[in-house]
Structure 1
Amino acid sequence: MFDRRTLMRGGAAAAVGTGALLGGHVPAAADPKRPPHKLKMHVGTQRRAATGAVLQEFVRHGVTHWVGYPPNPPLHEGRGHWLPHEVEQTREFAEQNGVTLDMVALPMLTSSLIDNDPRPAIMLAKSPERDRDIEDIQKMIEACAIAGVPAFKYNMSLLGVMRTSETPGRGGSTYETFRAAELDPNAPLTIAGRVDADAFWERINYFVERVIPVAHQYKVRAACHPQDPGTPKGGHRGIDNVLSVPGGKGLFTFLSLHDSPYHGLNLCVGTLSEMLWDPQREVYGILRRLLRTRRVFNIHLRNIIGRRDDFMEVYPDNGDNDHARIIRILAEEGYEYNVDPDHVPNHPDDPDGQQAFAHGYGYLRALMQAVESTL
């Protein structure tokens, strides 16, 4: 049997162990008069949910905030934007099932390959169609403001999310893998043709100049996802991805295109790691710098093994990134929006990823609670 002093020594050791796990911080004894510290961030998800049952599945696994999808506009009827009541219905659908609609995904500017995009004009720099699509986005920003939805997310993609192979993973799963050396150097150009870095920046800036002032006017945050993955030196299929580097002319340059607190990032930490040659050393400092701009409006948290041009996507607890350290950085910098699991491994017994995402939600919630207990 343990005596009282043995039990106290064991408790102290456990506290030190927990502190070491979460970055070496060991909390002082709790002050009974001090209210418990609460993190500002939330466990979120960007998974689609067509029914209340799916939203309740999220809630059961600790999700409190959702990135939602109002119905696609009826292009066949000549309308390319949401109406305010459609966004409002999506918000009410979320609230009725126990989650907060924190953000919506635009029905255009997705992460798809431009050849497969039904509304490619903005990224093709094709006027007057791109001006029509931009006007539709302006109307959707207004609809979000009227419906009480504070943010939207989008991509500026031509090549889509490129992967080259799969790698066997734990428990019979497979990890999506990207190796630049395996890309076909003779792959044909996309419908965009050749788009060098300068041309890509022109297209991005054209969009930002016309959309962000409207987002600022209506106080709706616009969150752009970085390009995933980076292109190798010389580009691929005639295209140089420019939003796949942090420094130089990359993510910080993007943020500088418009001085508005409503112009920011849907920052995927996995994608950020994919940009770096030494992510285990570099990612934490860059993440902190980005957070200090106060322009990070959503976090996708997934893990990789590898580096730029050669990586695989793995489970959140077995990659190169220390997710406990990342959550602590988010907490220290006062991050107050969603943290979403993203790009889970594949398994034939889990074709829709429900098991893998449930693991991700629980892992995130546990990390947040552990960090919260040490602040």
Structure 2
Amino acid sequence: MKMTFRWYGEGNDSVSLKQIKQIPGVEGLVWALHDVPAGEEWPMDKIMEYKRLADEYGFHLEVVESVNVHEDIKLGLPSRDKYIENYKRTIEKLATVGVKVICYNFMPIFDWMRTDLFKEMEDGSTALFFDKAKVLSMSAEELVNNIAGNSAYSMPGWEPERLKHLAPLFEAYKDVTEEDLFNNLQYFLEQVVPVAEQNGIKMAIHPDDPPYSVFGLPRIVTNRDNLARLLKLVDSPSNGLTLCSGSLGANPNNDIPALVREFADRIPFAHIRNVRVYENGDFIETSHKSDDGTVDIAEVVRAYHESGFEGYVRPDHGRHIWDEQCRPGYGLYDRALGIMYLWGVWDGLERIRKGNA
């Protein structure tokens, strides 16, 4: 298990590289060029600037999250080919700085979705929260204003310039079915996976968050059967998964440890986080501790350990604790606690395996 930490870059993150360096066992940064619009080729000078910063603190840059997919690719428009060509060239550039995994998603219009960025919990901490009934009663425009307008940091997946054109985007998707989305994903993968293979990179699709349709939009990376199907679209080790226990765990019908065991050889990158799902469908992100949420994180880690997992992981979202002022879900303190919880479970399993328990 190779531990990483997501970092949004200088001036766009409350957490410093010096602080990340002090978290035990963190080897690399999970990074991206968040100021480059989806569909554009990444500039080499900006890539090299990230490498310079990482090198200064001894971090690798082997995991990128995300090289975002342009909406025209998801929609299957004729213009998709030029954006796919840009994507291929970006893959080639990333290989030159040692990138091994590219996490991406194929969610129409919206990336992750929450209704409250700072929902107060019983202990006084705050966390990202999804109110299912509220989403059903509000417009997409209201949700965009709520998310994009309530953070001091840029919000990947909620770029104001792109979401200013919300009505035309919804119009474009009105007749797009899940089957259409699968076909468009296959077309994309058939183009980029061979380039990834040639450059020693694994594409790792992130599940939809939450893993079901919202605002009538199709979503396909949602459950076991769909994960199995998308891996067969292009049957290659370079067509893999970013298995996110929190995203898939928002649907209690998804058995996360079972998914890990089934797809372990196609999971180059894992997000491990917990989420508490309520009977009405609401959910909130909790600490990583198993008992705090609906997902048995200790059993998830056991599944990775038993599978001989040697890929990359990161603690993913955390609560906002100890009055930390930070990007929603991406503070230092709770993610560092999460890493130590994951290491504690992993180290215990290692001692048992070696007979030292």
Q: Whole-Å Cα distance in 1 between the matches of residues 178 and 244 of structure 2? A: 22
CA contact (8 A) 2:252 2:294 kept: no
Equivalent runs, 1:26-105 vs 2, <5 Å: 41-50=1-10, 54-62=16-24, 63-70=26-33, 72-73=35-36, 80-84=40-44, 86-105=46-65
| Identity value in percent | 27
Q: Distance in 2 between matches of 1:210 and 1:253?
A: 18
State the distance in 2 between where 1:175 and 1:72 align. 25
Task: Give the C-alpha shift of residue 370 in structure 1.
Answer: 2.3
**Displacement, 1:123?**
2.4
TM-score, length-scaled by structure 2? 0.78
Among 356, 359, 368, the residue aligned to 2:334: 356
Question: Structure 1 residues 105, 176: CA separation in 2 closer, same or farther (over 3 Å shift)?
Answer: closer
Counterpart position of 2:76: 125
Is the 8 Å Cα contact of residues 285 and 318 (structure 2) preserved in structure 1? yes
CA spacing shift, 1:339–1:170, aligned 2, 3 Å:
farther
Q: CA deviation at 1:73?
A: 4.9
Q: Distance in 2 between matches of 1:215 and 1:226?
A: 20
Mapped contact 1:264–1:295 kept (Cα < 8 A): yes
What SS does structure 2 have at the residue aligned with 1:203? Answer: helix
1:270-300 CA-to-partner distances (Å, cap 9, x unmatched) read 11212333x5xx3221221111xx1111111
- CA offset at residue 107 of structure 1? 4.3
Distance 1:186 1:321 in 2: 28
Spell out, residue by residue over 1:11-45, the C-alpha distance to the aligned partner (whole angstroms, 9 max, x if none): xxxxxxxxxxxxxxxxxxxxxxxxxxxxxx12211
SS at match of 2:129: strand
Distance 1:98 1:170, change over 3 A: farther
* Offset from partner CA, 1:29-80 (integer Å, 9 cap, x none): xxxxxxxxxxxx12211222328982221120122222122575599xxx93
Partner of 2:287: 315
> Which residue of structure 2 lines up, in the alignment, with residue 343 of structure 1?
317
Query: Which residue in the other structure is 1:287 paired with?
Result: 260
Question: Runs ≥4 in structure 1, deviation > 3 angstroms?
Answer: 70-75, 83-89, 164-168, 179-182, 185-189, 307-310
1:168 and 2:142 aligned: no
* Alignment-derived partner of residue 180 in structure 2: 199
Alignment partner, residue 157 of structure 2: none
CA contact under 8 A between 2:301 and 2:345: conserved in structure 1?
yes
Question: Following TM superposition, by how much is the alpha carbon of 1:230 offset from its aligned partner in structure 2, in angstroms?
Answer: 2.1
Give the secondary-structure state (helix, strand or coil) at the position aligned to 1:64: strand
CA shift, 1:373, in A, is 1.8
The Cα shift of 1:102 comes to 1.9
Deviation at 1:307, TM superposition (A): 6.6
Q: For 1:212, which of 172, 193, 206 is the aligned residue?
A: 193
1:326 paired to 2:300: yes
Task: Answer whether contact 1:134 1:210 (CA < 8 A) is retained.
Answer: yes
* 8 Å Cα contact 1:68/1:105 also seen in 2: yes
**CA 132–209 in structure 1, closer or farther in 2 if over 3 Å, else same:** same
TM-score (norm 1): 0.75
Q: CA deviation at 1:179?
A: 4.2
Q: 1:237 aligns with which of 191, 194, 215?
A: 215
Gaps of 5+ in 2: 141-166
Per-residue deviation, residues 306-352 of structure 1 (Å, max 9, x unmatched): 27943221111122323222222212111112221112123581121
The answer to whether structure 1 residue 296 and structure 2 residue 264 are counterparts is: no
- How is 1:232-271 mapped onto 2 (pairs within 5 angstroms)? 235-247=213-225, 250-271=226-247
Please give the alpha-carbon distance, in whole angstroms, between the structure 1 residues aligned to 2:67 and 2:199: 19
The alpha-carbon distance between structure 1 residues 164 and 72, as it changes in their structure 2 partners (threshold 3 A), is: closer
From 96, 105, 113, give the equivalent of 1:155.
Answer: 105
Q: What's the CA shift for 1:210?
A: 1.1
Point out the structure with max Rg over C-alpha.
1
Specify the SS of the correspondent of 2:93.
helix
After alignment, is 187-196 or 143-152 more displaced? 187-196
User: Compared with structure 1, are the counterparts of its residues 65 and 170 closer, same or farther at alpha carbon in structure 2 (3 Å cutoff)?
Assistant: farther
Q: For the Cα contact (< 8 Å) 2:4–2:27, is it kept in 1? A: yes
Q: Spell out, residue by residue over 1:170-190, the C-alpha distance to the aligned partner (whole angstroms, 9 max, x if none).
A: 431234333434332674673
**5+ residue gaps, structure 1:** 1-40, 110-118
Instruction: Give secondary structure in 1 for the equivalent of 2:210.
Output: coil
Whole-angstrom CA distance in 2 between matches of 1:226 and 1:97: 31
Q: Look up the equivalent residue of 1:172 and give its one-letter code.
A: G
1:237-261 C-alpha deviation (Å, 9 max, x unpaired): 23121111222xx111111110111
How many residues end up aligned between the 2 structures?
312
Within 2, Cα distance between the matches of 1:187 and 1:50? 34
**Alpha-carbon spacing, 1:191–1:364, altered in 2? closer, same or farther (3 Å):** farther
Instruction: Find the aligned partners of 2:138 and 2:41 in 1 and give their Cα distance.
Output: 38
Do the aligned residues in 2 keep the contact of 1:71 with 1:82 (CA within 8 Å)? no
